[in-house]
Chain A
Amino acid sequence: MTLGIIENLINELMRLPGIGRKTAQRLTFFILTMPDEEARSVARAIDEVKEKARFCSQCFNITDAEVCDICRDERRDRKRICVVEEPSNILVIERAKFYRGLYHVLLGAISPIDGITPEKLKIDELVQRVQANGVEEVILATNPNTKGEVTAQYIRERLNAFPVQVTRIAYGLPMGSDIEFADEVTLGKALEGRRRM
């Protein structure tokens, strides 16, 4: 009996991204030796997420309510919207503890070769928010790669009609790196986006 259920857990864990057989085995044996309550609490958390998680009706962040914590937080600056590709990007930006405005999650990026058209993303919803709520600045924080760039360009054009400032997060060299290892595109963009000191 035992091997069947253990093999089963290993196989289930291997469905997760970045987890191969070896890691799945390690996790399985760790789970086996965990205190009952802790292991159950992991299982419950997965259950709960699948049962209750949904997209915020305003910003498309992941939440367990109609509107997410950030959109509900009265202390946040409602005149600024930071546009990101994925809900996980919000966590990263929040960790930097620099930004105090609201967010808008596109749930992807424009990609012709994959057939991801603007209509498949939450871009219309962003335009509606800008139109309705007296937003002063839209910060485009899509990824600094071709898909993210194209998406930013597209949104920039869509927002041309509105009296809103559209900004793009700066391109640059990663902190802690050496300029000698930067390629010409990265360096070109960093120079283009230089600022007065």
Chain B
Amino acid sequence: MLHRTEAIILKTMPFSEADLIVSALTLEYGLVKTFAKSSRKTKSRFGSSLEPLTYVRTSFWGKEDAALPRLTQADIIRPFQKIRDRMACFFRVMEIVELTLGFLIEREVQRDVFHLLLSILMKIEDEGPANDRDVLNTLLYKIRFLDAVGYGPRLEGCARCGGSGYNFYIAQGSILCGACAKGMDSPVRLSPGMIKSYGTLRSWEVSKSARIRLSRTLLAELSDMLDAHIRYTIAKPLKTKAFQPS
């Protein structure tokens, strides 16, 4: 049967002589892998519509449980070419794409994540080119995405007793107070400013985030905490990390 849905292209993999396997986050079906015949040929009707980050209207053909349905159409709604044209920005955005691919399960509908990714891509393209905004917007995505899939770190006081505390325990994914953390080792000490900023980034409407201003120090502190949390949660470093300036 034919499926139609909006999608954001996340990743493509060459297959056979001129074909591609396309991983896309779709609005209606969640993460879907499809097969795009002859899409690498110069005169392919897919043109540039399958480049990573492209926001497209797609049709694909296959039974409900087909492992690799066939992509029959992809019409560009917004190409996000400006993001791909800026190398440093593109590298940052690919990090959130890898994060997304790492947590989503195929064919599990995730409308919130779809809208989140789309609005963040729009923000990055519209607010750019500005490195600090790229950092803030990708950070915002990481925080909101982890919340959406249920893996966000818990920083509102001690996760066990609700008491106050600033020590973050990576293995617990949360802050614990002195009493609850007895016998546990090596917490990361978080600053009150960072915890407050984290709360802001979690709760503000994404559409209004252009008004959020954070210092470089705070951005760096937030990024470090979140990256450590992600590394621990998926039990490996992201490949795209090698591309981020330290």
Residues of A within 8 A of B (CB): 17-18, 112-115, 117, 145-146, 149-150, 153-154, 157, 174, 176-177, 181-186, 188
Contact = CB atoms under 8 A, between A and B. Distances in A.
Contacts of B98: 112-113
A187 to B, nearest CB: 9
A19 B146 CA distance: 42
A184 B79 CA distance: 8
Contacts of B17: 17-18
For A112, A114, A184, A185, the residue with the greatest tally of chain B CB atoms inside 10 Å of its CB is A112
Contacts of B48: 145, 183, 185-186
B47 A183 contact: yes
Given A149-B84, A177-B43, A184-B79, A113 B51 contact: no
A112 B47 contact: no
A43 B94 CA distance: 44
B52 A188 contact: no
B239 A115 contact: yes
A182 B16 CA distance: 25
28 contacts: A17-B17, A112-B91, A112-B239, A112-B242, A112-B243, A113-B52, A113-B94, A113-B97, A113-B101, A113-B240, A115-B239, A115-B240, A115-B242, A145-B48, A145-B51, A146-B51, A146-B84, A146-B90, A157-B87, A174-B42, A176-B43, A181-B47, A182-B47, A183-B79, A184-B76, A185-B47, A185-B79, A188-B81
Nearest to A183: B47
Contacts of B239: 112-115
B133 interface: no
Interface in B119-144: none
For B45, B47, B51, B97, the residue with the greatest tally of chain A CB atoms inside 10 Å of its CB is B47
Contact of A117 (B11, B95, B101, B243): B243
Interface in B58-103: 76, 79, 81, 84-85, 87, 90-91, 94-95, 97-98, 101
A149 B91 CA distance: 13
Contacts of A115: 239-240, 242
B44 to A, nearest CB: 10
A101 to B, nearest CB: 23
B174 interface: no
Nearest to B45: A181
Interface in B193-246: 239-240, 242-243
Contacts of A18: 16-17
A183 B76 contact: yes
B136 to A, nearest CB: 20
Interface in B29-54: 42-43, 45, 47-49, 51-52
Contacts of A145: 48, 51
A153 B87 contact: yes
Contact of A150 (B16, B45, B90): B90
Contacts of A174: 42-43
A182 B49 CA distance: 10
A85 B90 CA distance: 20
Contact of A112 (B43, B76, B85, B94): B94
Contact of A113 (B11, B45, B81): B11
